[in-house]
């Protein structure tokens, strides 16, 4: 199991249960995650809905970058003209997959 994330607020499950209402009321204003442990191991992290949304957006961004780097590594590239055609909905020839077009939303629409 991974070590508990660094946080000023780390509580056992029992302590969390006793303080749940106050913690939930204060989580949005404190901006500090609460690490909940069970038997000394982190089992959950409580964050505000806005912080969770930010984390999800960051994760989507990082995944998009990884996907883009993977496309470059495998030669799945488009010229500027091909990109414009794809974004404008025009059909185009797919040079990297011989028309199978299974790996990118920006390939031809055959």
| Entry pTM | 0.59
What is the DSSP secondary structure assignment for residue 37, as one 8-state letter? E
**What CA–CA distances, in Å, run from 26 to 23, 46, 72?**
5, 11, 45
Tell whether domain 9-73 is in CATH 3.30.390.30: no
* pLDDT: which is higher, 8 or 90: 8
pLDDT at 105 over 70: no
CB 108 within 8 A of CB 93: yes
Sheet arrangement for strand 41-46: 9-12, 34-38, 41-46
Residues of the chain with pLDDT > 70: what percent? 75
Q: What residues contact residue 75 under an 8 Å CB cut-off, 6+ apart? A: 96
């Amino acid at each position: 199991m991974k070590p508990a994330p660094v946080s000023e607020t780390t509580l056992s499950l029992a302590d969390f249960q006793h303080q749940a209402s106050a913690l939930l009321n204060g989580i949005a204003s404190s901006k500090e995650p609460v690490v909940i442990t069970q038997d000394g191991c982190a089992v959950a992290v409580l964050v505000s809905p806005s912080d969770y949304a930010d984390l999800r957006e960051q994760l989507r961004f990082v995944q998009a970058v990884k996907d883009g780097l993977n496309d470059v590594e495998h030669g799945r590239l488009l010229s500027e003209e091909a990109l414009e055609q794809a974004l404008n909905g025009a059909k185009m020839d797919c040079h990297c997959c011989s028309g199978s077009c299974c790996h990118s939303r920006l390939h031809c629409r055959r």
